[in-house]
Amino acid sequence: MPAEKAQALVLRTTDWSESSRIATLWTREFGKVRVLAKGGRRLKSNFENALDLLTLCRIVFLRKSSSSLDLLTEAQVVERFPRLRSDLPALYAAYYIAELLSDWTEDYDPHPVLFDEALATLRSLGQPAKIEDRGSRIEDSSRSLQSSILDSQSSILNPQSSKSPSPGPRLARFELVLLRELGYMPALTSCAVCGQELQTGAAQAVSGSAERAQSLAFSPAAGGVVCSVCWPTRREALTLSQGAWQALRDLSEKDDAWQESFSPEVRAEIRRLLNDYVTYLLGRRPRLLPYLGS
């Protein structure tokens, strides 16, 4: 029974017995692992508060056979994201990240790029606010998702939150990296149905065909952007504005494109489109979706 070391983000915890807890962890080295933390509910356990939701920790665990849970033997806090506790839109975005990683990745299927992106996203969302946070803290973020949300709704009524940057583009960047890593990257530069390369507005102007600027759509079932010729064959496809198309390509190609200022209309369109695409791929609507802003 080898002891493994890993960096881990805590995605979910459930009480297992009087004193123990089961934790779902997203590790850089092994992908998703589920561990039993014996004594994990006691105040002075080996794990202290390392198993709080969305905490980055360093862990040691014993790999068991496929039929039983791995056993957590050590967990030390490396980093927390305190701003999440006083910024509701950022907190929902972070919970959504945890939900996607927990529900969509396989056990022992590592994606270091996705681990790094998740961590970078939590750091961006959890950056200290420029003004001092006065919001109250969520005392027990390790409880169930639902009760955490209820807690946060009642405890974070902090008007300063509205001055925080919108988490939408940062979250969209994470989702695009996740989709690429899991093999579901939507087609953005060529039609998802016929494969024809899609012309940008600038290219159309140069080629003198601006007067017939393509109207584009996005089809979750086809797996991406659909050209004007194929659109009538995809009845479920949604109109895609040039602005949102450009934003999607930028967010998928550039690490820091999420820092650009996107219009509220473009942000809302991207949110709607990603919601539809993720829901289609998962076969159900993620629990956190209704709480996400753009």
Q: Which residues bind Zn ion (CB under 5 A)?
A: 191, 193-194, 227, 230
Nearest to 289 by CA among 194, 273, 216, 40: 273
* String of DSSP letters for 46-112: TTTTTTSTT-EEEEEEE---TTS-EEEEEEEEEE--GGGGG-HHHHHHHHHHHHHHHHHSPBT---H
In terms of CB distance, is 155 or 241 closer to Zn ion? 241
* Contact present, 160 and 131 (Cβ < 8 Å): yes
Q: Minimal distance in Å, beta carbon 262 to Zn ion?
A: 26
In terms of CB distance, is 191 or 237 closer to Zn ion? 191
Q: Minimal distance in Å, beta carbon 232 to Zn ion?
A: 10
Q: Minimal distance in Å, beta carbon 195 to Zn ion?
A: 7
In terms of CB distance, is 135 or 224 closer to Zn ion? 224
Q: Minimal distance in Å, beta carbon 248 to Zn ion?
A: 17
Q: Minimal distance in Å, beta carbon 191 to Zn ion?
A: 3
Query: What's the token pair of residue 183?
Result: 């093999």
Nearest to 87 by CA among 55, 135, 53: 135
Phi-psi region at 8: left, alpha or beta (left = phi > 0; alpha = psi -120 to 50): beta
In terms of CB distance, is 147 or 233 closer to Zn ion? 233
CA distance 200 to 77: 47
Q: Minimal distance in Å, beta carbon 32 to Zn ion?
A: 36
Nearest to 155 by CA among 167, 163, 143, 147: 147
In terms of CB distance, is 226 or 270 closer to Zn ion? 226
Nearest to 142 by CA among 227, 57, 212: 57
Q: Minimal distance in Å, beta carbon 137 to Zn ion?
A: 51
In terms of CB distance, is 139 or 236 closer to Zn ion? 236
* Beta strand spans in the chain (E): 3-15, 21-27, 31-37, 56-62, 70-79, 216-219, 224-226, 238-240
In terms of CB distance, is 14 or 209 closer to Zn ion? 209
